[in-house]
């Protein structure tokens, strides 16, 4: 039950990867090399670059020459045997990766932990599911509801949310979800009702309705949620902050169809990309402060994940067989190369890679042997 597609989290990664792959292939096919250029497609009218109060920056990966990988600070280990399981996440303490696997032959799949220190896999949850950010709750779909179970004592309850993915707040005290209108097939006019409740499902209330967008995650110290779309049928489209106190929604950035939005661990930043906007300046990868004060464009385009608050990991899309991993600091407008493809191979399959909660490691599925590997990241 993780975003998008996700009873478990890895399904979301695959769905997101497919979307990125299709769009990126269309955008980048005519170009070569690490530096990307834009082409005006003329499909839609131009949109505003940013609200007037926003400070606009640009970060070009490798523009000042790559920073060499620190010697002795990297380690690459194989965590599982080939083809054994599906990567879904990490334990909250970053000691183990979470996978979907069969504990025994001819048994149902279960959520299991694979300790980086070694040893046998352990069952975390006996059925496919996911964990809350702090690991205290197990989440699984139960028909048109979601079931939450406290792992410490086994107490469970359900929330009527049409089976949608619940977004547990970082503190574990609140939960948000969006309920999608039925009978409206086109995503641009589909309505998403935004709901928030106590973690037990009590005091549920509707915050707002967005059109043609989705719920992204928590921000502003759990005082608001971030969404995409339009607040009204004829309103502006973009990225919005919806406060829990009932105050008016705030437009953080006007943009057509922001894609694959990912909020940072503490909710202070949002990474997303735009394509086919009709304005070549709007296309590409962007990083936005969720208070609306800063907007940074990152080039070249690539796959991205948050390492920590304000620190974005980026694998640029190039023709190289082995990718290179960078860390981007959007506030400072700089990027540091973390891996050297001549020394460290990263055969990541279908964008199937996840950063540990402490930001020190990356787990990925290899397209070479279908095993899950873990890379220890250097500190710039």
DSSP labels, 249-296: PEEEEE-SS-EEEEE-TTSSEEEEEE-S-S-TTT-EEEEEETTSSEEE
CA dihedral 261, 12, 221, 207 (to 10 degrees): 80
Query: 4 Cβ partners below 8 Å, 6+ apart?
Result: 12, 15, 16
pLDDT of residue 71: 38
The full length of the chain comes to 380
Provide the phi-psi class of 333: left if phi over 0, else alpha when psi is between -120 and 50, else beta.
Answer: left
pTM for the full model? 0.81
Q: Parse the chain into domains and list their residue ranges.
A: 10-376
Tens-digit pLDDT string for the chain (380 aa):
333 333 333 334 433 443 444 334 333 333 333 332 222 222 222 233 344 345 566 667 765 554 444 434 468 999 999 999 999 999 999 999 999 998 777 888 999 999 999 999 999 999 999 999 999 999 999 999 999 999 999 999 999 998 899 999 999 999 999 998 887 777 788 899 999 999 999 999 999 999 999 999 999 999 999 999 999 988 999 999 999 999 999 999 999 999 999 999 999 999 999 998 878 888 999 999 999 999 999 999 999 999 999 999 999 998 777 789 999 999 998 999 999 888 888 999 999 999 999 999 999 999 999 999 999 998 87
Closest CA to 330 of 350, 351, 306: 306
The SS3 call for residue 322 is coil
pLDDT of residue 53: 45
Give the angle subtended at the CA of 260 by the CAs of 225 and 241, to the nearest 5°: 20
CA 352 – CA 310 distance, rounded (Å): 22
Distances (CA, A) of 106 to 102, 160, 321: 8, 33, 38
pLDDT of residue 57: 61
Best CATH choice for the domain 10-376 from the list 3.40.50.300, 2.130.10.120, 3.20.20.70, 3.40.1010.20: 2.130.10.120
pLDDT of residue 58: 64
Distances (CA, A) of 370 to 87, 98, 195, 352, 364: 11, 16, 39, 11, 10
pLDDT of residue 282: 84
Residue 250 in tokens: 């705030």
pLDDT of residue 286: 96
pLDDT of residue 9: 39
CA dihedral 243, 248, 57, 338 (to 10 degrees): 20
Q: Where are the alpha helices (H) located in the chain, listed in sequence order?
A: 10-28
Closest CA to 258 of 278, 228, 233, 232: 228
């Amino acid at each position: 039950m993780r975003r998008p597609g996700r009873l478990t989290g890895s399904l979301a990664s695959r769905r997101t990867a497919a979307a990125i792959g299709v769009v990126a292939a269309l955008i980048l096919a005519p170009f070569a090399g690490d530096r990307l250029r834009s082409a005006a497609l003329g499909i839609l009218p131009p949109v505003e670059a940013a609200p007037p109060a926003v400070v606009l920056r640009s970060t070009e990966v490798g523009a000042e020459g790559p920073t060499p990988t620190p010697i002795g600070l990297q380690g690459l280990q194989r965590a599982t045997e080939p083809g054994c399981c599906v990567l879904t996440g990490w334990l909250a303490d970053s000691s183990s990766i979470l996978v979907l696997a069969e504990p025994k032959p001819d048994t149902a799949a279960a959520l299991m932990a694979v300790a980086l220190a070694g040893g046998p896999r352990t069952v975390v949850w006996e059925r496919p599911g996911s964990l809350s950010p702090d690991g205290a709750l197990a989440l699984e779909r139960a028909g048109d509801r979601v079931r939450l179970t406290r792992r410490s004592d086994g107490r469970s309850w359900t929330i009527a949310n049409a089976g949608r993915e619940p977004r547990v707040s970082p503190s574990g005290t609140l939960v948000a979800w969006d309920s999608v209108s039925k009978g409206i097939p086109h995503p641009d006019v589909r309505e998403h009702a935004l709901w928030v409740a106590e973690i037990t499902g009590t005091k549920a209330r509707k915050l707002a309705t967005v059109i043609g967008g989705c719920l992204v995650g928590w921000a502003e110290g759990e005082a608001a949620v971030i969404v995409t779309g339009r607040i009204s049928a004829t309103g502006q489209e973009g990225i919005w902050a919806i406060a829990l106190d009932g105050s008016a929604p705030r437009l953080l950035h006007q943009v057509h169809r922001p894609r694959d939005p990912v909020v940072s661990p503490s909710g202070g930043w949002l990474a997303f990309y735009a394509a086919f906007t009709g304005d070549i300046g709007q296309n590409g990868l962007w990083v936005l402060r969720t208070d609306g004060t800063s907007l940074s464009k990152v080039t070249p385009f690539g796959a991205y994940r948050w390492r920590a608050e304000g620190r974005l990991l980026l694998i640029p899309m190039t023709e190289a067989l082995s990718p290179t991993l960078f860390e981007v600091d959007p506030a400072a407008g700089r990027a540091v190369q973390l891996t050297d493809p001549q020394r460290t191979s990263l055969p990541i399959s279908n964008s199937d890679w996840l950063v540990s909660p402490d930001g020190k490691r990356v787990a990925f599925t290899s397209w070479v042997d279908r095993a899950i590997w873990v890379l220890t990241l250097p500190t710039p």
